[in-house]
Structure 1
């Protein structure tokens, strides 16, 4: 496994272009208290309704949450839903200069009806309509201009008709001329329209369908056929509980197990993978690094209800939780820890382990660790802390992070404003000055 902490530290804002089918996701949320007297169905008492960008728009939302500068290339209909979709994108500061309006085309809408955090029905309004030749030409004319400053192109095909062979040929061809990577989340069984893309990312059903093979055929055999069709460099296939598999054009294969705590809703998980993979690749990370980060991001997404937006801070916290053997962090983890604490309220407690876990230290940790929505960072102010002391502190669920390197703490403090600092004086917990003052106070 690559060092994901080192990989994570490389992620910076980049410009990403998302190309694909724009959908309006609407949510009707309420409570169910009784059954209808008219039919054996529930009655929903609506509490609120909400509009969100869906389809390729959801990929764009996730990229924005990951700190990327995002533009979209897609279409809407000349209707109220189209206006709502453009407004929702604008609120997120997603550039829509590449969005065209097609007459007589209804903007696709997916309305999810939610009761007590359970989806009880989804109502779709859509009509698969091919892009008109005139609009296709108009979109292609936008390509060169819209690609200025773009680090990566993410193509999200939902099969609604915007993605055409002519458009893909022009887009991928121009991207190759400019040295821009293209990652495709495909739809349907004909992957030839994505020919030349760097990475193709089907789910396992699409993977076998595109290879025209039964589901019990070998993955390698299917990958070989898809490489012949797409001439891509890498195929990434998401395999549900089997995790993610990477196939390279040179025959190499890598597998990454799923990383999930609890499955609540798989809606939009594929969009999360595409967004994280694009974010990673735009920052120069390898596809293997991007796949592992995508696995973690998707794991977070499906633990939530609806189309979840994953932030780098959330990814950092999960990465720290899963990939550190104990809670002791050093310079290697610093960028990830800084991101994890961004926007969080937390307290720093300075202690010494010279006398072990004393009652004052234990009591202080219990008191500080019981506050809701606060993280507790414990600074162990010993040159060579006892391993047993570190292990005991790591075992306490109230302790979120441990640091025993003053330079690490100093750099952390420079980028994060700590809410409170605590020290132990004469066995009592007191608010103190910075742990990095000229005099080191231990308890």
Structure 2
């Protein structure tokens, strides 16, 4: 059976996502003059687009691949405020056929919102509205309760950590311990400053910059250096006692490490599949989404990584935090 046939199986994937849920807002327009008030461009707004961001983009990627199939198979656990951005997030969840039963409302803080101002095709400024202190113990307990009540219904768990207050050391440990006891893979998209939270996880998917900084590596990565990446990856696996590690390498593809498979070909390098690169934002979300879906239906780590790499090659050719359909994924393979 080839990868195209295997990728078709992901319509039966059952994945739970927990992490920092936010709204990605894009305001598009044209700059035709400089302001008389200050030496800044004046943007004439054409239109605005709103998307599920952060951990929400992970769920959105999976929902897009499922199409109208089995959307109860994706559960997003996250926190929003009680404001306009929260309303837009709920509308987007509904539009994407993602259940809202895992969404908690915290009236004490605003919904995390990232507004990107784009002139033509050039982003000129980003406005972040966020409070990154940890959530209250009451909110954390609600998240834990939803997780514990639902985890048995899913085959794989993703922690999508943007260091916006959702994921604490104790919550991460609790999720990983539960998943390990239940023999469920737990995949981590880590925040750099939270690397130490993820000991004994199944798999971590940092990009090269995150891996270098999160591991406090002394290696200067001025160019692609496979030997240095090998040392870096093996150090991370050993330090955190991970089963597997994927370091995404941008234009150089991805490097796969597996603690259980010791070969002279470790890491296994998968070259990039991108035909053109328009926008890399959200590509990491696509990788972990597809990886989790493939692992959920029993594909191997290597097969899942090959399919995830092909998916990333599609979305970087699109504008913004884009998704892809199952048909686009099959064509890319």
What TM-score do you get using the length of structure 1 for normalisation? 0.68
**C-alpha distance in 2, partners of 1:156/1:194?**
12
Instruction: Kindly state the Cα deviation for residue 48 of structure 1 after the two structures are TM-superposed.
Output: 2.1
**C-alpha distance in 2, partners of 1:190/1:56?**
16
Q: What is aligned with 1:213?
A: 217
**C-alpha distance in 1, partners of 2:133/2:94?**
25
Larger relative contact order, structure 1 or 2 (CA cutoff 8 Å, min sep 6)? 2
2:27–2:47 CA contact under 8 A, matched in 1: yes
1:339-350 to 2 correspondence within 5 Å?
Answer: none
Q: What is aligned with 2:153?
A: 149
Structure index of larger Rg: 1
Instruction: Kindly state the Cα deviation for residue 302 of structure 1 after the two structures are TM-superposed.
Output: 1.1
Instruction: Kindly state the Cα deviation for residue 245 of structure 1 after the two structures are TM-superposed.
Output: 0.2
**C-alpha distance in 1, partners of 2:123/2:215?**
34
What TM-score do you get using the length of structure 2 for normalisation? 0.89
1:98–1:146 CA contact under 8 A, matched in 2: no
Q: What is aligned with 1:56?
A: 55
2:13–2:294 CA contact under 8 A, matched in 1: no
Count of aligned pairs? 318
**C-alpha distance in 2, partners of 1:220/1:236?**
11
1:218-229 to 2 correspondence within 5 Å?
Answer: 218-229=228-239
Q: What is aligned with 2:83?
A: 79
SS at 2:214 equivalent:
helix
**C-alpha distance in 1, partners of 2:11/2:108?**
41
1:191–1:229 CA contact under 8 A, matched in 2: no
**C-alpha distance in 1, partners of 2:255/2:240?**
17
1:109–1:124 CA contact under 8 A, matched in 2: yes
**C-alpha distance in 2, partners of 1:32/1:314?**
34
**C-alpha distance in 1, partners of 2:136/2:106?**
8
- The answer to whether structure 1 residue 165 and structure 2 residue 169 are counterparts is yes
- The answer to whether structure 1 residue 260 and structure 2 residue 263 are counterparts is no
Q: What is aligned with 1:237?
A: 247
Instruction: Please point out which of 98, 103, 106 is paired with 1:102.
Output: 106
SS at 2:12 equivalent:
coil
**C-alpha distance in 2, partners of 1:230/1:90?**
37
1:273-312 to 2 correspondence within 5 Å?
Answer: 273-312=287-326
**C-alpha distance in 2, partners of 1:295/1:164?**
29
2:156–2:296 CA contact under 8 A, matched in 1: yes
Q: Deviations for 1:53-74, whole angstroms, at most 9, x for unmatched residues?
A: 1000011110001116311111
Q: Deviations for 1:359-412, whole angstroms, at most 9, x for unmatched residues?
A: xxxxxxxxxxxxxxxxxxxxxxxxxxxxxxxxxxxxxxxxxxxxxxxxxxxxxx
**C-alpha distance in 1, partners of 2:256/2:136?**
36
**C-alpha distance in 1, partners of 2:182/2:142?**
20
**C-alpha distance in 2, partners of 1:198/1:191?**
14
**C-alpha distance in 2, partners of 1:66/1:179?**
25
Instruction: Please point out which of 199, 203, 207 is paired with 1:203.
Output: 207
2:23–2:53 CA contact under 8 A, matched in 1: yes
**C-alpha distance in 1, partners of 2:215/2:230?**
11
Instruction: Kindly state the Cα deviation for residue 158 of structure 1 after the two structures are TM-superposed.
Output: 0.6
**C-alpha distance in 1, partners of 2:12/2:204?**
23
Alpha-carbon distance change, 160 to 152 in structure 1, aligned in 2, over 3 angstroms: same
Instruction: Kindly state the Cα deviation for residue 194 of structure 1 after the two structures are TM-superposed.
Output: 1.5
SS at 1:162 equivalent:
coil
Instruction: Kindly state the Cα deviation for residue 254 of structure 1 after the two structures are TM-superposed.
Output: 0.6
Alpha-carbon distance change, 186 to 45 in structure 1, aligned in 2, over 3 angstroms: same
Unpaired runs of 5+ in structure 1? 320-443
Unpaired runs of 5+ in structure 2? 222-227
1:191–1:226 CA contact under 8 A, matched in 2: no
SS at 1:71 equivalent:
strand
